[in-house]
Amino acid sequence: MSSQDLISHYQSLLAEHGPSSKAVQWADDKTQWKRFEILSEISESIGSVLDVGCGLAHFYTFLRNTGRECVYEGVDIVPEFIDIANQMMCSDILGKAVLIDPDGDLPQGHDFGVLSGAFNNAIDDNWGFMTSMLRKMYGAVNKGIAFNALTSHVDYMDDGLFYVDPMKVIDFCKMELGGHPILRHDYTLRPNGFPFEFSVYVYRQPQF
């Protein structure tokens, strides 16, 4: 699946479901917000955040609804997502969304970067895309990044999705990025559910 295929895919989901969690390929709001909860735990104080693959800026809504008055900047490759996100944030001078080129650079200078779900779809070179994006994210922020992915430790895999060994990701974050990673493979998205995904925090400085 190419970048243009991905854009068309999400445009179709938006047309079908409207500006909901389903438009960004999540099952429902509850599981989407659980992911946000995990990612936001990278720090109790998020001064500014770059949301990579922001979709409809639902992470912004989560932050505001949980009392996080941080600076928010979302980036995405789907023009319609960016338009809707900016309309939603139009009265907040601390929030904005920006359309980016799939191969372009990321905005610099935020404290933290987050990415939720953008590694899930099977594309031409998933590992290459993942590692390239993590390098960009880590290089763009001052304190650290948080992201999630589908774990290879499952008993069923969908052909349209990308699953990866969490330890391979941790090795990359430690050895290639030179950061201080923490693996979160301890949660489920529903009560009594199966942990089919994981999250990683990568800090620039060791945590005490």
Q: Residue 37: which domain range? A: 3-203
d(CA 150, CA 133): 16
Strand partners of residue 115: 52, 147
d(CA 7, CA 59): 20
With respect to residue 113, please indicate whether it lies within any of the assigned structural domains.
yes
Mean pLDDT of the chain: 94
d(CA 116, CA 53): 7
What percent of the chain is modeled with pLDDT above 90? 83
- Predicted confidence (pLDDT) per residue in 120-148, tens digit: 999 889 999 999 999 999 999 999 999 99
Strand partners of residue 74: 51, 97
With respect to residue 73, please indicate whether it lies within any of the assigned structural domains.
yes
- Predicted confidence (pLDDT) per residue in 162-173, tens digit: 999 999 999 999
- Predicted confidence (pLDDT) per residue in 191-206, tens digit: 888 889 999 999 999 9
CA distances from 35 to 18, 21, 185, 196 (A): 21, 12, 12, 12
- In the chain, the number of structural domains is 1
With respect to residue 88, please indicate whether it lies within any of the assigned structural domains.
yes
d(CA 137, CA 54): 13
The CATH number that applies at residue 66 is 3.40.50.150
With respect to residue 183, please indicate whether it lies within any of the assigned structural domains.
yes
With respect to residue 9, please indicate whether it lies within any of the assigned structural domains.
yes
CA distances from 20 to 27, 32, 42, 138 (A): 10, 10, 25, 29
With respect to residue 208, please indicate whether it lies within any of the assigned structural domains.
no
